Amino acid sequence: MLNALQERLNSSDIRIVGINFDDDPREVTLDIANELGIEFPVLGRQEIEALGLRPPDVLPTTYILSPSGEVTAKLIGMQSEQDILKELASQGLVEETQP
């Protein structure tokens, strides 16, 4: 679903980025992403520490960040494409869509 959402948002300035909060080496993170069929960038611990993100208490967690790296929303639990688009719309980042 996130691959499809990234494709849908491709013409906007919004990017889907995965985060691996484990201490895996970069190569392992990329191997895991490849095995899972993830087609968008995936960040490892070093990159996320630079953003000031800490591991979430619940998985999955979806963060929406501003271009400056500020967390503007934190969505807990499984999210659908419509859930994420609704949050983006509430922030004025995409037009409101119908299911």
Per residue in 1-25, pLDDT tens?
A: 999 999 999 989 899 999 999 999 9
Containing structural domain, residue 15? 2-90
Domain CATH number, residue 8: 3.40.30.10
Span 31-46, average pLDDT: 94
Q: Tell whether 96 is covered by a domain.
A: no
What stretches of 26-93 show up as alpha helix (H) in DSSP?
A: 26-35, 45-51, 81-90
pTM summary value: 0.84
What does the pLDDT read at residue 27?
93
Mean pLDDT of the chain: 91
Task: Give strand pairing partners of 62.
Answer: 75
pLDDT at 97 over 70: no
Count how many domains the chain has. 1
pLDDT at 98 over 80: no
